[in-house]
Amino acid sequence: MATVIASATVTDTVFDASVLTIGVDVRGTVADEVEVRSVSTSHGESELAEVPLVRTEDDAADRPSDDYEPTTVTLWNKWTESAELLEPGMELLVTDAEIDDYGAETGFKTTGDSYVVVEPSFLVDVTSIRNWTECPRLYYLNKLSGVPLNYPVVKGTLVHEVFGDLLRGRDLEDAIDARVEERGLQLGLLGEDPESVAEDVRENAQAIEGWLEQGRLTEEDSWRSEQLLISETFGIRGRADAIRRGAPVELKTGKNLKKEPRFKDKVQAACYALLLEEHGGDVDTGTLLYTKNSALDRNEETGDLTPAKEFSMGNGLLKYVVRLRNEIAAAEVAGDVPTGYEGNAKCEYCFEQDTCMVVSGRLDQESKAGQIGQPLPAEEREYFERFSRAIEAERRAVHREYAKLWEQDARERADDDRALIDLEFVEKRELEAGRWELRARRTGGATSKLREGDLVLASDGHPVRGQSELARIERLDEDEVVLTADEPVAVSRLDVYPSELTTDRLLVALHDLLLKGDERRKDVLFDRANPEFETIDETFIDNNDAQNDAVEMAVGARDCALIHGPPGTGKTYTIARAVRAMVDRGERVLLSAFTNRAVDNVLEAVLEQLDSAGADDRIVRVGSESGVREDMQPYRLERAGDPETRLAELEDAQVVAATTATCGSRIMKEQSFDAALVDEAAQLTEPGTFAATNLADRFVLVGDHEQLPPVVQAEGGTGSDEPRAADLTESLFERLVDCHPDAGVMLDRQYRMNQRIQAFASREFYDGQLRPAEPEVAGRTVDDLEGVSRDALPATLRDPVAFVDVEGESSQYTDEAEAARVAELIEAYEDAGLDRADIGVIAPFRAQVSTISSHVPADVAVDTVDRFQGSSKELIIVSFTATGSLEGPIFEDYRRINVALTRPKRALVLVGDSRALSSDPVYGRMLEWAQT
């Protein structure tokens, strides 16, 4: 532990020049509590804080943590404000520190050039720092309730987009027309006329155009618009509106009649100055462009109507910005809720004062503005606290992914399936509106999590230190990748770009349920009341009692209904039949699921049902072009176009289909439904489910909690002060099945698997209740397929279930021997007449997927368990890649093996090390079943 210096006087010390080093960056973990105190120096009274820091290089040493000897780092004067934020375990970075040598102890101290950064790996967004400047409580409220769909926000976005277009050389009128048209749906929801909007944007854009034409720029001047900047030193990220001559230009659609920019706007520009300086710039000025100034009547307004206002970028402002950023990072990492007392804002002038007081009152939070209203019941407040902390733990996990952009090298990123590297840049081509198409050649067969439609960080070698742009993957095949981006970059690497959008929407959905939700809904969710049902005297499905019961419950539910659908039991058909019954009753239905693939699969079944009823003309699929399946594109809602037309298409739709993530968007939150049917509900977190169910009067959840659970990045903890991963890994579906068993029905007849294949899953996961729906399902084999003969297979593969024993390798994530054996098995089935398209291979790790893919034909589907859920093949081969320790997600959660074993229809081959597998009781029973 660090020892606090008792003396209150610090004298100037003469250092030996041979040991004095200036400009050292010191980074490490805070080892103990930090005390700030005043001392007398030869220069007068000063404040200091002595921080005991276990330096990063010491952390890497191969020795017990008890042996770490903290180094004392002394923070002087204003940096003590950041010292007060520190808690043991937090990370600290001090730049340009000076060696502070007192006798036997060598420490460090800040200099006039130093910056002190708390939790530098936590990337704080520039907009968050600006909001925090206004009021920390306002920052929290914006995060909690989200940004609503309103005209000022839409107008601001339009003006910014036109600004970027002008910088890229686009004609003003063309830009305005195109951008207003792109926002057709939003303008329709707001009831705005496109011509008046265009005029409004034009008034603001003319200030930009006039400024650009004032002759301030020469042909040598460089411009960049919407440049993404990330600082690994200061822990800040953001997209600058524009960079002119290496300095930031920020656009504001309001007015400012003073000569100086508003302080919060200066703070925002100063953030970008820091980012640019880290990337090699030398920034001494910033510009704020207040576009509304040019639209003001000089006869009616007094003051400085000049739109562009420049200011000097002094070191004091830059250091102040970092201290603000430190406040946010410390609060986020510690899980603190701002009260408003942290800032100097006056509550009586705040337009969010009432909202702040209501939220504070309902959640019983301390607030500078005070409280209004009765607090929520204690169990609801505890629920909010527990889940909001778990969501914030997810946010911190996303930030750890940000840090890996610079902490991992290119090969580590690729091995972690987070990057495609060693691309060869081919060409760039300018598109309409100044965007660019970028092409690069793939030089290796590496796999990654990247998919077509993903937003990625495209760089010329390093995503943070090199030139990089946010880009969209338009096409990704074995040989080439095609991207579109606002600016060109010589692409040689693509990185997964982490996003906080999911955590943002989870928090908003949680807020909306508890603070805006129906009391009856909350009574059911918190087990204060049982779900109620209307009696339905109608037969919907006459050949499957469980399916018919499920539809009856879905149609008759006054609160909620639960449909448990094990593999192959026809849950998609059941959902579609329930939707049709609801539509027949004149109800408006939201159809949702966790993934785009599931939404499109269910929508296809719904279309078949409604087509037979002649009612498929009022269906809308909400989603991006890249996310919606090609055959569902005719139903996709276009967001661009005439506002009234687009609004009518959405609001006249009787069935609206969208992912649960899309349900949290500003557009979908404007909609309301009689019923919401949510597929894949067991893969959704509780708040993720609320994003859809909050929009409807009642809901039906469909899923299987014996298959894949919700995907959670945070590890969580077990202590009372730690967010538990279990808070998010248990779905609302699973909780309600336990809480309200009478509100659900299990589909018990499966239409997929041979009886021999389904036996283990039925016994192990479904209490023996799962059985083949028909004799022909129970007895199906590969012999039933045209041109396939079981007799042509080796004798060991003729049974519908087979096990192939392969001794495990020492490598944890790949097994060449298993991959080679899988290739031999595929060849054997091909020789027996089975088509490659009917074969699927499942492996637990992306690395093994890549290894197997290099051994087998390209048209054989090879993927992980997670990617295979929801699909099936005639033959499934499972490569366990098992070593003696049985490490990996497929072994840590038995539900994953349930998914793998229930994908085949007619044949299942398990490939693995029997000695390793038999060391686990569940896998031991699996071996007995497979080898019987």
Is pLDDT larger for residue 826 or for residue 46? 826
Per-residue model confidence as pLDDT tens digits over 516-526: 999 999 999 99
Per-residue model confidence as pLDDT tens digits over 421-479: 999 999 999 887 678 999 999 987 666 778 888 899 999 999 999 889 999 999 998 88
- Give me the mean pLDDT over the 547-556 stretch: 98
Q: What is the pLDDT of residue 300?
A: 59
Under the banding of pLDDT at 50, 70 and 90, the label for residue 292 is: confident
- CB-CB contact of 917 with 924 (8 Å): yes
Compute, in degrees rounded to 10, the torsion defined by CA atoms 168, 171, 172, 175.
-70
CATH architecture of 755-931: 3-Layer(aba) Sandwich (3.40)
Q: What is the pLDDT of residue 280?
A: 84
- Give me the mean pLDDT over the 793-808 stretch: 94
Q: What is the pLDDT of residue 22?
A: 53
DSSP letter at 433?
Answer: G
Poorest-confidence range of 165-179, 299-313, 720-734, 801-815?
720-734
Poorest-confidence range of 12-16, 92-96, 109-113, 874-878?
12-16
Is pLDDT larger for residue 844 or for residue 83? 83
- The C-alpha angle with vertex 152 and arms to 150 and 158, in degrees rounded to 5, equals 105
Judged by DSSP in three states, 240 sits in strand
Per-residue model confidence as pLDDT tens digits over 588-633: 999 999 999 999 999 999 999 988 666 667 899 999 988 899 999 9
Instruction: Say which residues have a Cβ less than 8 Å from residue 377's Cβ, sequence separation at least 6.
Output: 526
- CB-CB contact of 534 with 677 (8 Å): no
- Give me the mean pLDDT over the 916-920 stretch: 91
Query: In the chain, pLDDT over 70 holds for what percent of residues?
Result: 91
Poorest-confidence range of 94-103, 550-559, 685-694, 796-805?
94-103
- CB-CB contact of 156 with 201 (8 Å): no
For residue 480, the cross-strand partners are 441
Judged by DSSP in three states, 658 sits in strand
Nearest to 228 by CA among 217, 241, 219, 218: 241
- The domain limits of the chain are 22-118, 417-499, 517-618+654-747, 755-931
Q: What is the pLDDT of residue 626?
A: 86
Is pLDDT larger for residue 229 or for residue 15? 229
Under the banding of pLDDT at 50, 70 and 90, the label for residue 328 is: very high
Under the banding of pLDDT at 50, 70 and 90, the label for residue 715 is: low
Structure token digits, residue 721? 């002060």
517-618+654-747: in CATH 3.40.50.300: yes
- CB-CB contact of 380 with 522 (8 Å): yes
Does 587 have pLDDT greater than 80? Answer: yes
> CA-to-CA distance for 566 and 492, rounded, in angstroms?
44
Structure token digits, residue 203? 């008034």
User: For the chain, what is the mean pLDDT?
Assistant: 89
> CA-to-CA distance for 395 and 594, rounded, in angstroms?
19
In which element (H, E) is residue 678 found? Answer: strand 673-679
Query: Which parts of 300-377 fold into alpha helices (H)?
Result: 315-334, 353-363
Q: What is the pLDDT of residue 305?
A: 77
Per-residue model confidence as pLDDT tens digits over 119-148: 999 999 999 999 999 899 999 999 998 888
Instruction: Say which residues have a Cβ less than 8 Å from residue 263's Cβ, sequence separation at least 6.
Output: 133
Q: What is the pLDDT of residue 417?
A: 82
Q: What is the pLDDT of residue 68?
A: 67
Sequence-ordered strand ranges (E) for 486-610: 493-496, 560-564, 589-593
Judged by DSSP in three states, 619 sits in strand
Does 674 have pLDDT greater than 80? Answer: yes
Under the banding of pLDDT at 50, 70 and 90, the label for residue 218 is: low
Judged by DSSP in three states, 415 sits in helix
> CA-to-CA distance for 128 and 629, rounded, in angstroms?
36
Sequence-ordered strand ranges (E) for 407-479: 419-420, 424-430, 436-441, 455-459, 468-476
Poorest-confidence range of 9-13, 165-169, 589-593, 672-676?
9-13
Poorest-confidence range of 150-159, 301-310, 912-921?
301-310
Class of domain 417-499: mainly beta
Does 720 have pLDDT greater than 50? Answer: no
Q: What share of the chain is helix, strand, coil (3-state, %, to 5)?
A: 40, 20, 40
Structure token digits, residue 411? 């090969």
Structure token digits, residue 305? 């109507």
Does 45 have pLDDT greater than 60? Answer: yes
Does 890 have pLDDT greater than 90? Answer: no
Structure token digits, residue 723? 């967010």
Burial class (CB in 10 A: 0-12, 13-18, 19+), 914: buried
Q: What is the β-pairing status of strands 285-290 and 308-312?
A: antiparallel
Neighbours of 278 (CB within 10 A): 17
Under the banding of pLDDT at 50, 70 and 90, the label for residue 214 is: low
> CA-to-CA distance for 812 and 916, rounded, in angstroms?
12
Does 65 have pLDDT greater than 60? Answer: no
Is pLDDT larger for residue 1 or for residue 22? 22
Is the pTM for the entire model greater than 0.85?
A: yes
Under the banding of pLDDT at 50, 70 and 90, the label for residue 27 is: very high
Is pLDDT larger for residue 882 or for residue 589? 589
Under the banding of pLDDT at 50, 70 and 90, the label for residue 279 is: confident
Choose the most confident range, by mean pLDDT, from 173-177, 260-264, 394-398, 551-555: 551-555
Sequence-ordered strand ranges (E) for 782-872: 801-805, 839-843, 861-864
Judged by DSSP in three states, 445 sits in coil
Query: In the chain, pLDDT over 90 holds for what percent of residues?
Result: 68
Under the banding of pLDDT at 50, 70 and 90, the label for residue 6 is: very low
> CA-to-CA distance for 160 and 154, rounded, in angstroms?
10
Instruction: Say which residues have a Cβ less than 8 Å from residue 17's Cβ, sequence separation at least 6.
Output: none
> CA-to-CA distance for 722 and 104, rounded, in angstroms?
39
Biggest CA pair distance of the chain:
96
Class of domain 22-118: mainly beta
Does 222 have pLDDT greater than 70? Answer: no
Same fold, 417-499 and 755-931: no
> CA-to-CA distance for 579 and 819, rounded, in angstroms?
44
Compute, in degrees rounded to 10, the torsion defined by CA atoms 236, 242, 245, 249.
-80
Under the banding of pLDDT at 50, 70 and 90, the label for residue 41 is: confident
DSSP letter at 637?
Answer: P
> CA-to-CA distance for 915 and 770, rounded, in angstroms?
30
Poorest-confidence range of 14-23, 165-174, 218-227, 310-319?
14-23
Q: What is the pLDDT of residue 445?
A: 65
Does 899 have pLDDT greater than 70? Answer: yes
- CB-CB contact of 874 with 785 (8 Å): yes
